[in-house]
Amino acid sequence: MPSRRNLIASLAAGVGLAATLRPGRTLAQTAGTSEGQKMWGGRFSEKPGAIMQEINVSIDVDRRFWKQDLRASRAHAAMLAKQKIITGEDAARIDAGLATIEGEITAGTFPFRREFEDIHLNVEARLGELIGPSAGRLHTARSRNDQVATDFRLWVRDALDEMQAKVRDLQLALVHRADQHTATLMPGFTHMQPAQPVTLGHHLMAYVEMFGRDVSRMADARRRMNECPLGSAALAGTSFPIDRTMTAQALGFDRPTANSLDGVADRDFALEALAAATLCSGHLSRLAEEMVIWTNPQFGFITFSDSYSTGSSIMPQKRNPDAAELVRAKAGPISGDFIALNTVMKGLPLAYDKDMQEDKPPVFNAFDNLDLAVRAMTGMVLDFKANPARMAAVAASGFATATDLADWLVQTLNIPFREAHHIAGAAVKLAESKGLDLPELSLKQLKSLHPGITADVYRVLTAEASAASRTSYGGTAPAQVHQQIARWKGLLKAG
């Protein structure tokens, strides 16, 4: 059994407990390799330990933005050549080598190696193998700090662009289905209790508005993040005569970041993207929850085809809305990803800290989940089949036109609304005691509540009349729903 001192020394060197206890296992056999260290290890004489190698490596994660890394490197090399910091010949070799690497990664033949820690060192190492010493000039006037900040901004910007397009597809699907159901009655709820009749088209258009705000937030986040950190170097800028505006423009940024410390330290852009993703996932979850409720046979408002339903391994009758439930669940990890990154960043001093290596997993995970949830919801919106008869029957029940009775009393008899509200409440109480709904009360029974009530009141006590009467801007009246559908068709067509 090794002594406590030897055990602690072995663990510090990167040897696991099991390896320490096994005879014949040497430090050399368990320590990490040093290939990646060649890129930065001039000051070091010993190899990193195995544990250090394992916790330090990020290539398994950050390989996802290889396209952004190559794009930024090519822009940087072109700028270095223009500024005569490197020769045109070296820049041409670098560009050709990076093009070869792009081809290798696309073809799946690029040798991603964990000993080179991250995507940046993997690319630089392979570039050296392809073009020789010229590869070493690419890193002139930049650091991995501004390199990763630039790559990550490019990736998030691309992700936001793609997500906006997919959310717009979802909006188009909702508008399409709303257009089919502008006059399809359904119950509106507050406190999950029957409130007033609405139309299915109106209900679906509410989500079009929500997702429109999500797209707007993503667009705002994109505008705010569209500054280029490249050229910030490690934290203080560089003494080389670089042209940061040139690289910013080449990469589609509006301008370079104005402060080199902020350029490498900032991850607001990732947090803001995650915040937008979190809000969007919440809207998806709300719609998914309603779909779960609506498909319950006790509601029976909609059904999904077999494409978006599953069964039970023990109960043959079951038809489960699992796709909706899984979309509902995605809101949890997505909002958790925002909290995770915010917690990583909350106490970090300027400028770059290795903690920030943990910035990418939550962002990648959140956008992967959001992408799947948006596409699944788009499919469900296009797939569901409504049951208008059942929805209309429920819309007309539960004294849903009590407010219409109160409004009629105000408009026809000039009764103050509070008094009318009291009379309508008494009508509900009377109907409930008789086992009737409001339209089933006799005129004599209604007159017992107020002698001025006439037979004209019955025209406002149907669910159809109730929905049709809500003609205020943004209301549920079919004419208003048509107006909002036309507006959104124009907005979505214009992108």
**Partner residues linked to 429 by β-bridges:** none
Give 302's strand partners. 386
| Catalytic residue ranges | 191, 312
Residue 56 CA to residue 353 CA, distance in Å, equals 12
For residue 132 the two structure tokens come to 């020789």
Alpha-carbon distances of 467 from 421, 425, 475, rounded to whole Å: 19, 20, 9
- Residue 248, SS3? helix
Strand partners, 436: none
Entry field: residues in the chain: 495
Please tell me the distance from the alpha carbon of residue 82 to that of residue 246, in angstroms, as a whole number: 10
* Gap between the Cα atoms of 6 and 78, Å rounded: 53
CA distance 301 to 291: 9
Q: Taking a C-beta distance cutoff of 8 angstroms, is the pair 284, 332 a contact? A: no
Q: 32 and 54 in contact (C-beta within 8 Å)?
A: yes
The residue type found at 146 is D
CB-based contact 359:341 (threshold 8 Å): yes
How buried is 453 (Cβ within 10 angstroms: 0-12 exposed, 13-18 middle, 19+ buried)? buried
Residue of 332, 308, 331, 330 whose CA lies nearest to 320: 308
Q: How many CB atoms lie within 10 A of CB 440?
A: 11
Supply 377's token pair. 């919801």
The Cα 277–Cα 372 span in angstroms is 12
Structure-token match 């995970």, residue found = 365
Strand partners for 256: 228
